[in-house]
Structure 1
Amino acid sequence: MARPPLDVGTHGAIRFVKLASGYRAKARYRGYDGVTRDLSRTGPSKAKAERVLKLAIAQALQTPSGGDITARSRFVEVADRWLAWQERRVADGERAPGTLDNYRSMLANHVLPAFGELRMHEMTVPRLDRFFPALQAKSSAAHARTARAVVSGILRYAARHGAITANPIREIEPIEGSGRKRVRSLTAEERRAWLAQLELDPQASRKDLPDLTRFMLATGVRIGEALALYWEDVDLDKATVLINWTVVRVRGQGLKRTDPKTATSERALPLPSWAVEMLRQRRKTAVAENRPADSPVFPDTLGGLRDPSNTRRALREARGSEGFAWVTSHVFRKTAATIMDEAGLSARLIADQLGHSRPSITQDAYMGRGAVSSAAAAALEDIL
């Protein structure tokens, strides 16, 4: 029976030959190309010869690219390199800081505890195929899909550096879930009841939730975009606002205004008259409090940027456990979109209003972007 081959990336038993001036250590190793080779090194003693030989084998097993990521590298080491690359992408404006924080959280809480100490060549399809269903059962399909995206990114990074020949994530079955929840929108009656509930809640009023709700209903903007709005972005005479920023919490830096989610998220939005009047009253208050133009329209208690996460929590507290328990900040955005759709606006105009990605490749190729119709403001005129 033929002798079974060595595993890829390993070496066989080390043999020694006595020399006049010391020892020669010899062994066979199998490279990542599958070829088995002989290697030997000498030293004044067996121990020295063995150490030199093992170092030579390790060097021979380096990837052809000459990089320091190999099939023997630990997953956590490659993950650190991948995160550093993502940090550079954030600095270059190619990734949002919030996305990087999500990556870090997913790695720390789920991925590294499962794979951190494994070598790259040990990241096999069966091992990965067991992990994601288990994570889905423990948390959710959305969590499992995020983990899959992070692991795939790291393994793709490793493949580009020659540590593995292919990304095993490609062989994993897609993560199926129960589907996205159908997002409800507020009816006219519900809009009035919601605002009345907020107005009667001292805590909600103190946290500016009624006017923030009105602004999000009037524009369909994301909550981070609403909280990033400065007075210098508001033109009350032209009844428009510029949405060029979003608020995120950056690790080690606190709250910052950063570029919005996508390039199409930067837009100028017309306002319905009732929203202009609401902002006009807020502007009078801001001037009376000596707040400058480069200050938030919806500030925190100290006049600075508000944390979107804290604001979402305030909304959860204000909605109660019955009646409006289903309401989130995204519902205001969905409500604005629903109203515009019912008013007969095209998918193009609604996508431009909301700062969504392109409705279709055909529209993107043959129709311009960036000009939002005043019909959006007209459709939202009477919603309250």
Structure 2
Amino acid sequence: MPRAPLPIGTWGAISTWVVQTDDKGQAVKHKSQARFRDHDGRLRPVSAYGTTKTAAERALLKKLQDRAKTNQSGELTAMHKINHLLDLWEKRFEGLVADGKRSPTSLVTYRRALKNYIRPAVGELRIGEASTPRIDTVLSKIKTNAGAPTAKTCRAIISGAMKLAVRYGATSVNPVREVDAIEAKPKNPPRSLTTEEVTLLRKSLAADDRAVQADLPDLVTFMLGTGVRIGEALATVWSEVNLEAGTVEITYTIARIPGELLRKTTKSRAGERVLSLPRWAVAMLRTRHAAGIRLDDPIFADALGGFRDPSNTRRSLRTALSPVGSTARRNLGQSLQTLRRKVCLTRKQVAEALGWPQTKIELIETGRIKVDQQLVADLVKTYNINLEDSPTLQAEIEAAAQPAESDKLAWIRSHALRKTTATALDEAGHTARQIADQLGQAKVSITQDVYLGRRAANPAAAEALEQAFDDPDLL
């Protein structure tokens, strides 16, 4: 009966002999060899060398064990670098984007994470070296340095790549599977604008020349009246509006990818919807329509009549949602702007020196955010000015620090408009499913947890309990 063949990925007996001696006949080099049954079923000799018999055998065992991990299937082995695995994963994701199954903006986000965090941290490791403890350590560092959201993105990418490695046979398990879930600080509860805040916001935008020039008052009105995302609002063209029926069809969104402004289908199939418009939104659209339009023009076009960049629009909206403050605040901003220009510094240079966002300098100089003594002291220090030696500037700061009506809107971000629409529908008695359909969301749970603002008190609940327990014997 013939001998059973070696299983694939195993080896036979190890032989070791002397291959080199010195002038005195002492062995100085040994060779160890064994036959290895490769992934294709063939037996091949594998050799290693060492200065001693033990060293040669140890080197051969390491070589045989590594070769066993490289049980090749397709394009990957355990000995390939993770960078190679990531290249394959990225190529597959590109194919999903081309097929319309994934968003090109997701690809941009993932490429950024790959370049900035994942490849520098694990790219030069071998696939077989990607252990759970090592991946856990890498993700913990990313969370510490870049934040939980970035770490979650990196975890998803690495997990997807290692799943690919499992499918190709380069590893038997996904090491990311046992890594602890990345937890972030609890998000602030959903907050929507009150009726008074909506009125104040619209008045503030209408009185702000820069906001009017950026066409923000009507854009905010449209977003409040529909609950659409900024990209969806900017992608809507006049042919999708029916003023007679008072409806608008949402089918596309605008996304910015490197070197291109892309009008693409909505985030999900749930995003394709027809929305009924409130009368005040229809009135706004009628006014714009009367000024002259073309059916293929966007409702909210840029200066050249084309689609607006959502990133630039968000920036303008962030500035507008930090409304112009009091006269004292604006006067202080002008004084600080004059001091900066005297020392010939740009906003960008000042922001880099302080480690601030550039927009923060702009908001201070336009009187759009509340300041205090310490903030201004840090700012003017870059202009070689000691605040204690400038009583006039200190007086301006004291006046600017007084509360202003616009401070009531300082918390608002663009997504608050969407939450305001959702909460208004909730208070009107619409179901969570109806609100999710309005917002273009597939999961009702996201609508309930993230978009519906919670009221502090519910009078109807008290009334219902009174009726349920209106029994003197229970008191």
TM-score range (shorter-chain normalised) is: 0.7 to 0.9
Q: Which aligned pairs between 1:1-384 and structure 2 lie closer than 5 A?
A: 27-28=33-34, 39=45, 62-65=70-73, 67-252=74-259, 254-287=260-293, 292-320=294-322, 321=369, 322-359=407-444
CA 1:167–1:60: 2 relative to 1, 3 Å = closer
How many pairs are equivalent? 324
Distance between the aligned counterparts of 1:185 and 1:309, measured in 2? Answer: 23
CA 1:40–1:346: 2 relative to 1, 3 Å = closer
Offset of residue 285 of structure 1? 2.3
Offset of residue 16 of structure 1? 8.7
Offset of residue 175 of structure 1? 0.9
The one-character-per-residue Cα deviations of 1:162-185 (angstroms, maximum 9, x if unpaired) are 111111111101111112222311
Q: Which amino acid aligns with 1:122?
A: E
The one-character-per-residue Cα deviations of 1:340-374 (angstroms, maximum 9, x if unpaired) are 000011111111111111437xxxxxxxxxxxxxx
Structure 1 stretches lacking a partner, 5+ long: 1-7, 19-24, 42-55, 361-384
> Is the CA contact (8 Å cut-off) linking 1:249 and 1:307 kept in structure 2?
yes
CA 1:59–1:71: 2 relative to 1, 3 Å = closer
CA 1:92–1:214: 2 relative to 1, 3 Å = same
Q: Which amino acid aligns with 1:334?
A: K
Q: Which amino acid aligns with 2:270?
A: T
Give TM-score, length-normalised by structure 2: 0.63
The one-character-per-residue Cα deviations of 1:182-228 (angstroms, maximum 9, x if unpaired) are 23111001001111111111111111111110001000011111111
1:370 aligned residue: none
Offset of residue 155 of structure 1? 1.1
CA 1:9–1:169: 2 relative to 1, 3 Å = farther
Offset of residue 79 of structure 1? 0.8
SS of residue paired to 2:421: helix
Distance between the aligned counterparts of 1:217 and 1:14, measured in 2? Answer: 80
RMSD, aligned α-carbons: 3.0
2:450 aligned residue: none
Offset of residue 139 of structure 1? 2.2
Offset of residue 323 of structure 1? 3.3
Structure 2 stretches lacking a partner, 5+ long: 1-8, 21-30, 48-63, 323-368, 370-406, 446-475
Offset of residue 31 of structure 1? 8.5
> Is the CA contact (8 Å cut-off) linking 2:256 and 2:311 kept in structure 1?
no
CA 1:182–1:277: 2 relative to 1, 3 Å = same
Q: Which amino acid aligns with 2:271?
A: S
Distance between the aligned counterparts of 1:251 and 1:72, measured in 2? Answer: 34
CA 1:40–1:105: 2 relative to 1, 3 Å = closer
Offset of residue 299 of structure 1? 1.0
SS of residue paired to 2:408: coil
SS of residue paired to 2:306: coil
CA 1:26–1:61: 2 relative to 1, 3 Å = farther
> Is the CA contact (8 Å cut-off) linking 2:248 and 2:275 kept in structure 1?
yes
Distance between the aligned counterparts of 1:328 and 1:172, measured in 2? Answer: 34
Offset of residue 312 of structure 1? 1.1
> Is the CA contact (8 Å cut-off) linking 2:197 and 2:408 kept in structure 1?
no
CA 1:14–1:267: 2 relative to 1, 3 Å = farther
The one-character-per-residue Cα deviations of 1:215-258 (angstroms, maximum 9, x if unpaired) are 01000011111111011111111111110001112334x11111
* Structure with max Cα Rg: 2
Mean Cα displacement is larger for which, 316-325 or 148-157?
316-325
Mean Cα displacement is larger for which, 184-193 or 350-359?
350-359
> Is the CA contact (8 Å cut-off) linking 2:130 and 2:175 kept in structure 1?
yes
Distance between the aligned counterparts of 1:106 and 1:75, measured in 2? Answer: 15
Offset of residue 32 of structure 1? 10
CA 1:39–1:272: 2 relative to 1, 3 Å = same
Q: Which amino acid aligns with 2:415?
A: H
Offset of residue 69 of structure 1? 1.1
Give TM-score, length-normalised by structure 1: 0.78
Distance between the aligned counterparts of 1:31 and 1:181, measured in 2? Answer: 59
CA 1:207–1:27: 2 relative to 1, 3 Å = farther
SS of residue paired to 1:323: helix
SS of residue paired to 1:241: strand
Distance between the aligned counterparts of 1:31 and 1:192, measured in 2? Answer: 78
Identity of aligned residues (%): 43
SS of residue paired to 1:106: helix
Q: Which amino acid aligns with 1:297?
A: I
Q: Which has a greater percent of helix?
A: 2
CA 1:82–1:9: 2 relative to 1, 3 Å = farther
CA 1:159–1:325: 2 relative to 1, 3 Å = farther
Offset of residue 38 of structure 1? 6.3
SS of residue paired to 1:138: helix
> Is the CA contact (8 Å cut-off) linking 2:78 and 2:170 kept in structure 1?
yes
SS of residue paired to 1:165: coil
> Is the CA contact (8 Å cut-off) linking 1:243 and 1:267 kept in structure 2?
yes
Q: Which amino acid aligns with 1:341?
A: D
CA 1:231–1:107: 2 relative to 1, 3 Å = same
CA 1:272–1:73: 2 relative to 1, 3 Å = same
